[in-house]
A and B are shown apart, each in its own frame.
Chain A
Amino acid sequence: MNLKTKIARLAGRSSKYLLHRFTTGGSSLPGKLALAIDPNILTSLSKDYRTIIITGTNGKTVTTGLTVNILKQHYNHVLTNPTGANMQQGIVSTFLSDNKDTGSEEKFAVLEVDEASVKHITKYISPEIILVTNIFRDQMDRYGEIYTTYNLILEGVKKSPDTILMMNGDAPIFSTPDVPNERRYFGFQNNDKKTDILAHYNTDGIICPQCENILHYHMITYSNLGDFFCPHCGFSRPALSYTLTSIDELTTESSLFTIDGEQYNLQVAGQYNIYNALAAFSIAQYLDVPSKLIKTGVHSAKRIFGRQESLYINGNDVRINLIKNPVGFNQIIELIKLETEPYILITILNDRHADGQDISWIWDGNFEDIAADTLNRGAYVSGIRMQDLQTRMKVAGFNEEQLFSIKEPRDVLSLIRNSPAKKVYVLATYTGMLDLRKEMVEQGILKERMNI
């Protein structure tokens, strides 16, 4: 290690110590400082680690969390970055924070990386695996088109040609073969090759990569994911290296599914999370984690904060879900459709920078699917753009007499306390969730601050 790197490392670490000592938590500042002194610091920081990068539109955090939990069953030293610290500075900070001295044993770094930042990381690190969960339309003020996002990721992948590229084989966009890297796909098994269906019309990424006609499907899991084929040119889903054999049970609490004859119990609900578990499984199997330990790792994973949080407030069972784009939103709708008990639905929509300033995506969300749900005991809207939500839900067919708006987070919280149904679903954009959590902290329901 040269002197510059040593100084950079020291500066980063001491700032980290000071930040921790005198403020409420860490940040990406140590990384920023260290990078300013030595822009190449990632190369030396990461040199003793086997690095795995996880990126994509949805499911990065859950997949990273699951992977870490599985690897920890088999390996002692697994480093990961906190949610939100998924750009270069945050990743430098993450490596700086790893003070644990575990001698000469193998060290792993499992990193959630923002789609546009992959290339800034692979400039310095040659990861063993880059895994891409999926690419969907995100907020329009982010990277825009799905092809733009995919190309940003590929730019990063190409910088490291020895890296294994693992991708969701059920996503047509990932079939384009213009990278030097070895590719491995994971996906859902399907033996029924007779069914011939189309994706919902309001879905993107459904064009045949070979002949540019509209793709058909033998089976759709959600959005544009499934066993696709092209009736015009014969193009079809690539061969899968890691296959989900069957989904055995889906509830609002958990899922049971089978991979390679082994049944797994995932304590995070939703079909989309089975994809995340399958992604984590693929990484773990590649890294030689015995299947018994993969099972333990999957089973013991807790709900990962914010995605699906469960709280008891005044005896009511409150489920809080983060919403940010239509595909993620629709998955939560799918979850609510599994509900068997009466519930109320609270949707909070803000349009601050962290939420995404353009909220028109709510018109791509399938509110229609639960509009007439007889278990719904009331639909409530809140947040800066609650009027827009109200219109959206009215058009979707929600009963106007059961559709209410609540302005203040305080009033939302008292509704939660006094809910007409025991189950409460809260769907909130990022700052909407922060506002509600702040209120919960003030009223002593929550102790911890959100770690951002």
Chain B
Amino acid sequence: MTLEICHLYGNLMNTYGDNGNLLMLQYAAKSQNVKVNTTLVSLGDDFNADKYDIVFFGGGQDYEQSLVSKDIQTKKNELLKYIENDGVVIGICGGYQLLGHYYINASGQYLNGIGAIDFYSDSKSSTRLIGDITTYNQRFDITLYGYENHAGRTYLGKSVTPLGEIKEGYGNNGEDKTEGCMYKNTFCSYFHGPILVRNQALTKVIIDLALANMNRRQKYINA
């Protein structure tokens, strides 16, 4: 059986070692003797919700992110379907921001998200939130370690769970002690460093969820 990974806009959203998350997912799956196939889905490509077990969506530079914001609208319905059907998504930084309602970047440009999860982001303050960060995730009882460096501030809707509560560092906005978000099997974060390298416990949780989806998908194909 093959674990199908979608590297969403991987040739545009790939800053600051985010690629390490993808490499770690591939490595973790292979360590369990699972074959891995990675597909790059980018500008003008179709995203098929039934095809993948994990979607990895990394951070990017402002310019690339603005192009992705336009193109992702063409994939919006399939992505929403994938997320609602418990598909596993990892969204980092710019990828995270585009899963919400919108993001206003440092030059005041309004970027549409796909509104899969109830949050928005802006960058009203010119100071970047930089430094080491530690958070705690209650659902899986894991402490998460990372490095953050972002101008964007994210504000979660009332019913949205953060990925972690801040122990040290700034997190989503430097105010409300939240970092990232979690919705069904979608995990978002500002952590670089990369998050799935430094936090093996989280990687294990994610791989287990993805393998369960892979088995489910395979049964469906065979049925």
Residues of A within 8 A of B (CB): 137, 140-141, 144-147, 198-199, 201-204, 206-207, 212-214, 358, 360-364, 388, 391-392, 394-396
Contact = CB atoms under 8 A, between A and B. Distances in A.
A192 B11 CA distance: 25
A207 B64 contact: yes
Contact of B192 (A198, A212, A358, A388): A358
17 contacts: A140-B16, A140-B149, A145-B61, A145-B62, A147-B63, A199-B11, A201-B40, A202-B19, A204-B64, A207-B12, A207-B63, A214-B11, A358-B149, A360-B20, A360-B147, A395-B24, A395-B27
Contacts, number: 84
B62 A214 contact: no
B192 A360 contact: yes
A76 to B, nearest CB: 46
B201 interface: no
B149 A141 contact: yes
Contacts of A358: 16, 147, 149, 192-193
Interface string B61-79: 1111001000000000000
Nearest to A388: B197
Contacts of A214: 11-12, 42-43
Given A145-B62, A145-B63, A199-B11, A364 B27 contact: no
Given A146-B61, A214-B43, 6 more contacts: A140-B16, A201-B7, A202-B11, A207-B64, A363-B19, A396-B23
A361 B197 CA distance: 13
B38 to A, nearest CB: 9
B2 interface: no
Contacts of B23: 363, 395-396
B15 interface: yes
B17 interface: yes
A417 to B, nearest CB: 33
A207 B67 contact: yes
* Interface band, chain B: 20 to 34
Contacts of A394: 27
Contacts of A204: 14-15, 61, 64
8 cross-chain pairs, A with B, having the tightest CB-CB distances, nearest first: A363-B20, A360-B17, A363-B17, A145-B61, A201-B11, A395-B27, A201-B10, A202-B19
A364 B15 CA distance: 9
A363 B195 CA distance: 12
A214 B13 CA distance: 13
A201 B194 CA distance: 18
Contacts of A361: 16-17
A426 B54 CA distance: 37
Contact of B19 (A140, A212, A364): A364
A358 B197 CA distance: 14
A53 to B, nearest CB: 26
A394 B23 CA distance: 11
Contacts of A137: 15
Residue with the greatest number of chain B CB neighbours at <10 A, chosen from A198, A202, A206, A362: A202
A391 B24 CA distance: 10
A363 B16 CA distance: 8
A220 to B, nearest CB: 14
B63 A202 contact: no
B17 A201 contact: no
A204 B64 CA distance: 9
A212 B67 CA distance: 8
Nearest to A394: B27
Contacts of B17: 360-364
B127 to A, nearest CB: 14
A363 B194 contact: yes
Contact of A213 (B19, B43, B192): B43
Interface string B21-51: 0011001000000000000101110000000
B192 A206 contact: no
B33 to A, nearest CB: 16
A206 B149 contact: no
A147 B149 CA distance: 18
A395 B23 CA distance: 7
Nearest to A391: B197
Contacts of B192: 140, 358, 360
Interface in B188-223: 192-194, 197
Contacts of B67: 207, 212
Contact of B14 (A201, A212, A213, A392): A201
Contacts of B44: 213
Contacts of A396: 23
Contacts of B11: 198-199, 201-203, 206, 214
B147 A147 contact: no
A360 B14 contact: no
A146 B63 CA distance: 10
